[in-house]
Structure 1
Amino acid sequence: MGSQKRKLLIIGPYPPPFGGVSVHIKRLITLLSANFEIIKIDESPHLKPTLFNLRSFNFLTYFKLVSKSNIIHIHSGHYLLRLLHFCTAKILNKKMIITVHAYEEKGKTFIEKYIDLFIFKQTGLVILVSEEISQKFNLKNFLIKNAFLPPNLQEEEPLQLTINNWLQDKKDKGYFICCSNASRLDICNNEDLYGLDICIEAAKLCKEKNIKIAFVFIVSDTTGRLSVKLYEDLIQKYNLGNLFFLHKFSISFISLVKQADIILRATNTDGDALTVREGLFLGKIVIASDVVKRPAGTYIFKNRDLNSLMKVINEVDSDLKNNSGILTTATDLPQFNASNYKDFYLNYVYN
């Protein structure tokens, strides 16, 4: 392979804010930095002083970064961004990988779908994070590889004192902690994509039925199409202020998962959710909607169906009280060998 590291350009959203894609990119860079010289182009809505962001519209710098790279790895979620990077890489004769973290066909025009399909077929390798996504395209140059990379728990930022104190107060009062998150509050199929609304409704019913579960929901970025205030008003209307903690800033979600009992993924569309796999990795009970195939061990409820969700919550509450359905010791935790992920990159890039 030679002594000189090859230059790997990774394009996509970098944290903060923390979302599934940005966290994957962060961990991927940590995994590969010993073997590659990593070059970064950020697509996050939050500009960072030490990181080039595409939103600066400095296309001279953009072309320079692409030009000096040996391989381009595109994590962009929007078809126009993928098209820009694809065309630039083709013009400069660069090897390419595209990772598709999620793909919702509803609402996409024929032109958007055609452009995406054309790009995917003309790219060296397309990584799809789930089998469901692979079924949407007739591709030969693809690989199904879930996006989960294990966190380095020692490097994760600790939770803020306010959240820690709230969690401890609830635990002292005998509550189980259920946590969920959204990179930002958006709409899909004219519904709340991340299901914050159904989480609040579930918290209301838990209170009415005296099910001792307290909810924490993290919104990393408040620039989404749905107003956070609408949900704050709903929490106040239901008098859930003491049982539903809505946090509006980016935090290390894995640090919250460590302290939680239940991880809830109530999205109405999904790829291969990092939230779900992190919960399972840390031995937590995980509840998720049935919009895609979920990993083994996940409790499933019918998408957007509050009755179905409450049925699962009742079951989980019983399991927790009986100390069943949850992994409790370090030796029980699922094992994950990240070296396989690294070997894939080394073999593909250097061959």
Structure 2
Amino acid sequence: MKVLLVGDYPPPYGGVAIHVQQLHGYLRGCGVEARVLDIGKGGRPAPDVLPMRSPTHFGLRLAGFLSSGWTVHVHTSGNNPKSWVLAGMVGGMPGLRASRVITLHSGLLPDYLAASGARRNFARVALAGYARVVAVSGAVRDALLSCGVPEEKVVVLPAFCASQVRPGPVPAVVDAARARRKPLLAMAHHPSPVYGRKLAFRALRRLAEANPHVGLALFGPGTDSEEFLRDVRDLHVAGNLEVLGELEHSAALGLIARSDAFLRPTTHDGDSISVREALALGVPCVASDVCARPEGTRVFAAGDAEDLARAVTEAVAAGPSLHPSVDAGPELLALYAELAGTANPSKQSHEDFDTGETRHAAQ
């Protein structure tokens, strides 16, 4: 069996990229010949990860894999035109021996598709070439069915590989924050308002009134922007923040593991990898009620800073607790095996494929 994953690969460390990285690691650990066609910004070199140098280069490489019978699994958000162009391109490219799977990750997808009949029609056509369509939540599944995607093609499977959650060493600033903050809260930051930064700051201000030693450790992009600094100043939380910037994923897991609670105050969500990672590590997790959350999550009313502060207080008081975690790895591996048997994939060796790829690139 040979599997090509198409999607973002870290860095940066977004949810889709982390899932692609973890799924790739799981497949390689199972002895599967697996590669990644990185359509993101192109991080540091990694084994069997191929950067995309240009759209033409991407098309040629993809054509080589498809013609060689690899099972291709696309990972994309589904909440913007670029995402659906990618889906349509991979799904419509010739390659009869190659089965295709796509995972649609974004909690914004239902609203995106609901806004336009043209979008729903395009989505239905773009997904026609896929043997299976993986939705990360029931809401995403329902949105796809409303487009006319056949129900038997759609499976709901969280984008999470519990076996790959492995905390690593942390920078000294994390240990310093742990030593001076009681409690220490953690939150993944992004400049998009979807991530709920202002709401988290308002809740933090309420928590600090009762306990001035509380701290919120933020990791992720955008913490050096003018908008971020303005919110810190206007909401008076500078004294309770630990701003860590972007962390390697293993270091981010190390931070979460050292925290008293993890916050996910989003306004929209699909199926958050970070929520499941916190729960898998036994760390109390507080998340908005904008979607179904995994067992063990303490939810609060979206947009309500007072309710968020209440839920955090209760979570910290309750303390650590391990909860069962799903693992998409074995289920996807079984799916690939089923589809590979149907598709009669090529038995070319690595060397044969590389020669074929070079031939495509030369045309």
How many residues are paired up?
320
- Name 1:26's counterpart in structure 2: 21
Q: Find 1:144's aligned residue among 149, 156, 168.
A: 156
1:99 to 103, 109, 129: 103
SS in 1 for 2:111: coil
Moved more, 93-102 or 156-165: 156-165
Give the letter aligned to residue 102 of structure 1.
S
Q: Which residue of 1 aligns with 2:265?
A: 266
CA contact (8 A) 2:88 2:125 kept: no
> What root-mean-square deviation, in Å, do the aligned CA atoms of Structure 1 and Structure 2 show?
2.6
Closer/same/farther in 2, CA of residues 120 and 61 from structure 1, 3 Å limit: closer
Q: Describe the superposition over 1:4-58 as per-residue Cα deviations: whole angstroms up to 9, x where unpaired.
A: xx22110011111112211111111121123422122112234545643335332
SS in 2 for 1:164: helix
**Alignment partners' CA distance in 2, 1:47 and 1:75:** 17
CA distance in 2, matches of 1:160, 1:212: 21
Task: Find the aligned partners of 1:85 and 1:345 in 2 and give their Cα distance.
Answer: 17
Query: Residue 301 of structure 2 contacts residue 308 of structure 2 at CA under 8 Å; is this kept in 1?
Result: yes
Matched residue, 1:347:
338
Query: Between the two proteins, what is the percent identity of the paired residues?
Result: 21
The 1:152–1:268 alpha-carbon spacing in structure 2 relative to 1, beyond 3 Å, is same
TM-score by length of 1: 0.82
Counterparts of residues 162-181 of structure 1 (less than 5 Å): 162-170=173-181, 175-181=182-188
Structure number with the higher helix fraction is: 2
Provide Cα deviations, 1:282-311, integer angstroms capped at 9, x if missing partner. Answer: 111111111111112111111122222123
Any idea what the Cα deviations from partners look like across 1:175-210, whole Å, max 9, x if unmatched? 11111114x422xxxxx1111121112112222233
Residue number in structure 2 paired with 1:110? 117
Contact 1:270 1:292 in 2 (8 A): yes
Q: Which residue of 309, 320, 326 corresponds with 1:326? A: 320
Q: What code does the residue aligned with 1:304 have?
A: G
1:85–1:136 Cα change, 3 Å: same
Match of 2:38 among 39, 42, 48: 42
Q: Which runs of 5+ in 1 are unaligned?
A: 1-5, 187-191
1:336 positional shift: 5.4
Q: Which amino acid letter does the alignment assign opposite residue 346 of structure 1?
A: A
Residues 119-268 of structure 1 mapped to structure 2, 5 A cutoff? 119-138=126-145, 139-140=150-151, 141-152=153-164, 156-170=167-181, 175-182=182-189, 184-186=190-192, 192-210=193-211, 212-219=213-220, 221-222=221-222, 228-252=225-249, 253-268=252-267
Q: Secondary structure at the match of 2:60?
A: helix
Q: What amino acid does structure 2 have at the position aligned with 1:177?
A: L
- Secondary structure, aligned partner of 2:195: coil
Q: Which has the higher contact order (CA 8 A, sep 6+)?
A: 2
> Which 5+ residue runs of structure 2 have no aligned equivalent?
78-82, 343-363
Whichever residue aligns with residue 272 of structure 1, its letter is D
CA distance in 2, matches of 1:110, 1:145: 26
Q: Deviations over 1:62-98 (max 9, x none)?
A: 433443352110102211121222122xx22221001
Give the Cα separation in 2 of the matches to 1:86 and 1:341. 18
CA distance in 2, matches of 1:292, 1:233: 29
Distance 1:152 1:9 in 2: 19
Give the secondary structure class of the aligned counterpart of 2:162: coil
Q: Report what 1:3 is aligned to.
A: none
- How far the C-alpha of 1:340 sits from its partner, in A, is 4.8
| More displaced 10-residue stretch of structure 1: 128-137 or 242-251 | 242-251
Q: 1:227 to 1:241 in 2, by over 3 A?
A: closer
2:9 alignment partner, SS class: coil
**Displacement of 1:227:** 7.6
